Structure 1
């Protein structure tokens, strides 16, 4: 009897262990098959059910194996929530490489914290996140969550996978709704060649993919929203924070609804403010002068903060509230500026845009509120054009956006006639930098530099903030900018900013050490230590992705190098001209008694290019980087 009991208990324990290992045992064969992959999504199902015009349920089920530290970010075991979006349930289980369960997590075990950033004054958004820190790899996570939201106008975009170097075994999107009471629209992005199956069901649609290979992480790859397969979904009738919409089928209809519902009563200003702004602009004659004066007034008297309470993610706080508190978020400041302009008879429109260094467009043929993370202001000009201003910037000149919102489609919101419009582009030679400098040095390598720097376009916007730095911060910034100069000591650095012509002129003087390399009675001198282009792109033997040069630029350097006494020029590199469809590089050297004059120009052309041309791009950039290291030799007389 005793031995029989031991046998039964042993059998139960072994059976339990075998069962645990069957699904999530990570074999050597699997590791070999998935070599080069950071994570493996075994199963990922999202089901969205529209229960009514003002309620939807979003359920996620994901089983993912993580092979290394880089794969941790693919787990995404968290849930955002606020007053209009509730976490109904959330749980997780973690298994080791042998398939043994390490730990189970219930809702109470998840970390719960405010979802705020440093520029946020107040928000009601929070996040529940899985508190698991792996100590070994690989491991597997089963993650489940259910969200109930009233905002059927904000159906999240579904990505079958949204990370590079992540392989997928099965990924599925299920969308259910009452087909008799509403109409759903879908935008299928980047489906080509992946074999994604679409099924029309009695109550909606299903999309599914099996055995999807990973997308390789590569330098200069195009935007993820255009690389990774995804589905955008919207309803014709929806709810947005208690505001209901019916029959929305176009950007025009969406803009008219937004204007009527979310901007209603948001433009009122006090008599005191109205009189102040009219007095400020009464002696100005042109529309541009008046609009610029209003923009400068807002820049000088109001500060940016983030407001994300309730509908605050889309609706501006009132102009009166901004006026009283002297701060606002992008929507509040844009609407406040719009209200001030309206008070002096200048029409302007709010515009929703996707801001950031990467140029991401609002989807032209799919009206929605998921696109966009920022709001700016569009002021109509002649010939159906606009002047654009970002009311959160305290430094941008009037009608200049810089590289945060340039060259991308935005949603311009009007009472009628709302439209998708592209913001101005600053391309190639628009983004100009001119360096002029004189270098003198002694045989111990001490260097003295005096020069000037002129910037325009996005090069101007990227440097304009430097002019407002405190003295010590400026010194630190200069040491980073001229990091190739050892022991740099700045004697002088001044600025002249011409906002009307979008120029920044700098004058500088500094010293350093260890310039040149002494070899017996010779010295080797690097000819361009002030503005060398030193980037070497990564090389790929089998490039998988097309690539994009996000922004072009044009640099010119004029450098004069004075030789020390009793030295003469022994050797200088030959002149170079490199021509490519990606740009042009020129270096010319002229000699004048005891001076070496170096001229460099480098044009890099923005654009999208097929993957087959990446090797040519690599060769061109690598050649430029090599030429920038060119040295001259001088010899003691």
Structure 2
């Protein structure tokens, strides 16, 4: 295993002026990163060692995100030794005491250590290093060569027995030098080091609605392929079918369903009229009885134990769901996915580490219905946005390749707004509103509100409705059952704007965008560095009835408008009767992912929506 010494590092540190000249717009820069990993399997025991070292310089006071650092997520039995200190601009060394290293207890008997560096003035250098010893099997993984801040030099090493064959891929590509060390004796085996040296890696700037930023940081992906020492080793390469069967064996080893879970499934499905009804009841029961704390494919216990525990990983929730489906004679498959916010699977490199969720796909006659227990109150078969249109690996003995999760049409993810506007005898504007959300918008809003207090929920909806009528007061805010798996999200409320009509007014200006939903602040640079990921294709429609106040008549109505493009739809129709004005407006976004070249078209689309939002209906006394 290769370690990185730093005896002469302080003598060769570049200066602050030099770094500011190279990176005038950055808060910090990584001067050096070293990451060395050794994996072995000796005497029927697995061992994993890793040594990490980084040195970052603050180019401005505060040092941005480099002023703190964290270890990887660790198993409870992992042993780690951490060393951290700051070299000030005057050359003084300020150690971080072991009692100042914060330990974070994570769910599922996991842990992590976090360091905050002293003295974050410009010119300070933050040194963070640790050595990890583990018996957890990690035969594949990622090693990020770059960071969100620029990296001057990175050296990454994977050490292993010479007979082990790994697949390696740097993605996205960058300029690096790869080499293989001479063979050497370690223990009773012949070992080799695989080494990558990369340098002058630029930082990544986050941009609005981008895909996961980690997709744009150069990363070394490595995955074990086969052992030359096996008989016919090349014929036993790790492929996706093997990955699937390994995960299935892990599930089978834990799937010891006891009588209590069988009784629970029978009680939940009692009186169900069909297999679909059984599935809906089980899904509702599981999402209400088991809280998903984090997205991960780790499963630590049998389903009955997990259900009694009541919380854990997303995959553990799916495991309980599948176990209860099995006891209720519902045909299904488990499917591993990597969500849209987690990055894409590299199909040429079979490995488990890509995936972060386990879905359940149940079959009813010719229909396949998908389930993700990560959210409560989700109608059966509705996947959240991040699960849609991603590659999935079915978990079965002979998996025959990837499948793609379904994608909902943008019109299925809807928001319908019914708004009635009137004016009282004192001149106040009164708006009574009812909103309904369907599809993935329904899932998303319910999930947000489930994590908020009543006061926070109210403030969220005050913010969502106040832009069109500044100064308005919200009253009678009522949410439907946000945990219901049957009802769509429904909210009703009342807005009042006192003194909207004053005695001296001869004209009234009523905005078409009465709720302020079309006042987008988004503006995309035509020189975008990252592709555009809208991620939430949906449609919104508002129907607004305005009662014309006594003594006023219509002086001006905006022209009807309609735009339908590959980006989306915008339309606005205004109709007048004797005493009322009816406004019907719609805004839809269609695509999931756009290329950076679409920035100008997207700006034009949102600009058109803003132009329509800025129009007024004018009434004259």
TM-score by length of 2: 0.84
CA deviations 1:552-581 (Å, max 9, x no partner) are 111111112222221222223333334543
Is 2:349 the partner of 1:378? Answer: no
Distance 1:20 1:547 in 2: 42
Is 1:565 aligned to residue 542 of structure 2? no
SS of structure 2 residue aligned to 1:183: strand
Per the alignment, residue 210 of structure 1 pairs with 199
Q: Given the superposition, is the C-alpha separation of residues 519 and 44 from structure 1 closer, same or farther in structure 2, using an over 3 Å criterion? A: farther
- The correspondence of residues 256-295 of structure 1 with structure 2, limited to 5 A, is 256-270=245-259, 273-275=261-263, 277-278=265-266, 281=269, 284=272, 286-295=274-283
**1:395, 1:464 within 8 Å by CA — same for their partners in 2?**
yes
1:476 Cα deviation from its structure 2 partner: 4.3
Distance 1:424 1:508, change over 3 A: same
CA distance in 1: counterparts of 2:66 and 2:463, whole angstroms: 34
What is the alpha-carbon distance in structure 2 between the residues aligned to residue 186 and residue 250 of structure 1? 15
- How many residues are matched? 591
The answer for the alignment partner of 1:23 in structure 2 is 13
**Take 2:530 and 2:399, find their aligned partners in 1: how far apart are those partners?**
38
State the distance in 1 between where 2:591 and 2:581 align: 33
Aligned to 1:611: 596
Structure 1 equivalent of residue 570 of structure 2: 585
Alignment partner of 1:179 is 2:162:
yes
Task: Name the CA shift for 1:20/1:354 in 2 (closer, same or farther; >3 Å).
Answer: closer
Q: Are 2:190 and 1:197 aligned?
A: no
1:418, CA displacement in angstroms? 6.9
Report the alpha carbon displacement of residue 516 of structure 1 after superposing the two structures with TM.
Answer: 7.2
- 1:64 is aligned, of 49, 56, 68, to 56
Match status 1:32 vs 2:16: no
Q: Is the 8 A contact 1:248 1:254 kept in 2?
A: no
Alignment partner, residue 6 of structure 1: none
The whole-number CA distance in structure 1 between the counterparts of 2:216 and 2:403 is: 23
Distance 1:253 1:564 in 2: 72
The worse-fitting range, judged by mean Cα deviation, of 462-471 and 194-203 is 462-471
The secondary structure found in structure 1 opposite 2:253 is: coil
Question: 1:400-421, CA deviations, whole angstroms, 9 ceiling, x for partnerless residues?
Answer: 2223533322333224427533
Q: Separation in 2 of the partners of 1:506 and 1:253? A: 48
Distance, in Å, in 1 between the alignment partners of 2:491 and 2:586 is: 19
Match of 1:447 among 410, 420, 429: 429
Partners of 2:486 and 2:534 in 1: CA distance: 26
Aligned partners of 1:434 and 1:454 also within 8 Å? yes
* Corresponding position: 1:634 with 2:614: no
2:32 corresponding residue in structure 1: 43
Question: Which of 540, 543, 546 is 2:531 aligned to?
Answer: 546
- Cα offsets for 1:102-152 (capped at 9, x unmatched): 41346x254131333xxx4xx432223223254533422222222122234
- Write out per-residue CA displacement over residues 175-213 of structure 1, whole angstroms, 9 at most, x where no aligned residue: 121121x2212232110xx32223244424222222223
1:242 alignment counterpart: none
Structure 1: stretches of 5+ with no match in the other structure:
1-17, 239-245
CA contact (8 A) 1:553 1:604 kept: yes
The more displaced of 563-572 and 283-292 is: 283-292
* Of 482-491 and 322-331, the range deviating more from structure 2: 322-331
Whole-Å Cα distance in 2 between the matches of residues 542 and 394 of structure 1?
A: 40
Q: Does the CA-based 8 Å contact 1:41-1:168 persist in structure 2?
A: yes
Equivalent in the alignment of 1:422: 404
Does the 8 Å contact 1:517/1:523 carry over to 2? no
- Paired with 2:343 and 2:583, the residues of 1 have a C-alpha distance of 39
How far did 1:388 drift?
A: 1.8
Partner of 2:75: 82
- CA RMSD, 1 decimal: 3.5
Q: Relative to 1, partners in 2 of residues 1:215 and 1:261: Cα closer, same or farther, differing over 3 Å?
A: closer
Q: Equivalents in 1 of 2:328, 2:526: separation in Å?
A: 61
SS in 2 for 1:463: helix
Is it true that 1:389 corresponds to 2:371 in the alignment?
yes
> Which residue in the other structure is 2:214 paired with?
225
Compared CA separation, residues 444 and 111, structure 1 to 2 (3 A) = farther
In the TM superposition, 1:57-456 aligns within 5 A as 57-68=49-60, 71-74=63-66, 77-80=69-72, 81-87=74-80, 89-96=81-88, 98=89, 100-105=91-96, 108=98, 110-116=100-106, 120=107, 123-153=108-138, 155-163=140-148, 166-180=149-163, 182-191=164-173, 194-202=174-182, 203-236=192-225, 249-270=238-259, 273-275=261-263, 277-278=265-266, 281=269, 284=272, 286-300=274-288, 302-304=289-291, 306=293, 314-325=298-309, 329-355=313-339, 358=341, 360-380=343-363, 386-417=368-399, 419-441=401-423, 446-456=428-438
**Structure-1 residue corresponding to 2:187:** none
Equivalent pair of 2:376/2:447 in contact (CA under 8 Å): no
Take 1:630 and 1:333, find their aligned partners in 2: how far apart are those partners? 49
**2:230 is matched with which residue?**
none
Q: Residue 214 of structure 2 aligns to a residue in which SS?
A: helix
> CA separation in 2, counterparts of 1:260 and 1:381?
26
Q: CA deviation at 1:603?
A: 1.6
Deviations 1:223-274 (A, max 9, x none): 2232111111122469xxxxxxx9561222122122224531423221x543
Worse-matched range after superposition: 137-146 or 40-49: 137-146
Q: Deviation digits for residues 330-380 of structure 1, max 9, x if unmatched?
A: 33332222222222322333333345x736344434332322333332324
Normalising by structure 1, what TM-score?
Answer: 0.82
Whole-angstrom CA distance in 2 between matches of 1:579 and 1:305: 40
3-state secondary structure, aligned to 1:538: coil
The residue matched to 1:115 in structure 2 has which SS? Answer: strand
Give the equivalent residue in structure 1 for 2:3: none
**What is residue 185 of structure 2 aligned with on the other side?**
none
The whole-number CA distance in structure 2 between the counterparts of 1:152 and 1:19 is 34
* CA distance, structure 1, for counterparts of residue 109 and residue 478 of structure 2: 44
Separation in structure 2 between the aligned mates of residue 223 and residue 466 of structure 1, nearest angstrom: 21
Distance of aligned partners of 1:397 and 1:483 in 2 relative to their CA distance in 1, 3 Å threshold: same
* Structure 2 alignment gaps of length 5 or more: 1-7, 183-191, 228-234
SS in 1 for 2:377: coil
Change (3 A) 1:178 1:467: closer
8 Å CA contact 2:438, 2:489 repeated in 1: yes
8 Å CA contact retained: 2:68, 2:117: no
* Matched-pair contact (CA < 8 Å) for 2:16–2:59: no
CA contact (8 A) 1:319 1:332 kept: yes
